[in-house]
Structure 1
Amino acid sequence: MEKSASLNGLILIGGKSRRMGTPKEKMVWHDKLQREYLADLLAPYCAQVCFSCRPEQCAELGQQPFPALPDAHLDIGPMGGILSAFESDTHSAWLVLACDLPFVNEQALKQLIAHRDSSKMVTAFRNPINGLPEPLIAIWEPQSYRTLQEVATAGNYALRQALDNMPVQMLTPADPTILFNVNTPQEAKQVPLIAATRQGR
């Protein structure tokens, strides 16, 4: 059986958080900045963990223990961050996490990694509502890079549509709450309510 590629971690913090009104990577859900929580979560499972960011964010991130990876493809959303990651290391797989997932935890990462199929291009959780793979809590294998390049060159920057052209290992999340993402202040207000419900299980 062919050995899986080394696994790096990529935390996407380059969005401008216009709907939220405050940087989502600086929200505090776990007694620390969300970006720090995610980096600490990924570190035991990845050869290296990087923050995918806009070039102007690099100065702030310079003192972090995890390196900044400036986006070389601006204004095309998360695809730009993933493309930039592969350009920095084409031989490794990237475990990609959006910064707006407050309920991602070690259990979710363990499930994703344990059921990783490196013969596919992506290992991702299936969204229980629409049945589609979630691209921003997923492992992107090195062989996905060429397809991402092709769809980006064609002017299509939607990762979910890119996944239509890729073989994907789809997993049912043990806890679907991990896929809840926060884009607005209204959604942020739901986080403590959902957290209380989860603790009461």
Structure 2
Amino acid sequence: MDITREALARMIDHTLLKTDATAAQVSELVAEARDLGAYSVCVSPSMLPITEDLGAVKVATVCGFPSGNHTPATKAAEAAESTKLGADEVDMVINISLLKAGRPELVVEEIQAVRAATGGVLKVIIESAALTDDEIVEACRAAETGGADYVKTSTGFHPAGGATVHAVELMSATVEGRLGVKASGGIRDWETAQAMVAAGATRLGLSGSRAVLDGAPASEDDGGY
């Protein structure tokens, strides 16, 4: 499928989650997100609140990041504080060890705890590259049961890797439009981003957003993009 540069930009969570990121870099991130027309910026909780002029750009953050091996109460408290500090969206990492141990009901419980702690958009990071296909399906079902708005492929920090077209297709087929699907991790060019959207992604997590968008083909109608 074909998508315009502007339409793809509006699907981007422009992301800065490096452990050594500075406040100055967050300011640059916000300015770039506005310039690119990105949907949101995604930053670590310690960078909240964002005091720069966001314009129409939303604010996303993470909780239980990046391992997911936090207690449900800890994740909920982190999400609640971030919401009070201005986060519109929270991307939480599930405890995948619970999933692999055959305890999806405990994954549902931690998602429900975070859901109760924030009234904003909740995305559930399942770390798809570390899961089997059956586990991906189970994780998506847990996210839906727990009240999430999105399922998300990856933190971008797991050694197993980031988003794949196969995982996005499977996640999209499982939630069937009832939840959004966010592809994140390793998306560094226009072709890969477009492939993720074609596979069913409705949001993209990108750190190199400008490079991806600059790869968009020029429009024959307007002489550019």
Q: Same fold (TM over 0.5)?
A: no
Q: Kindly indicate whether structure 1 or structure 2 has the higher relative contact order, using CA contacts under 8 Å at least 6 residues apart.
A: 1
Q: 1 or 2, which has the higher helix percentage?
A: 2
TM-score between both structures, scaled by the size of structure 1: 0.31
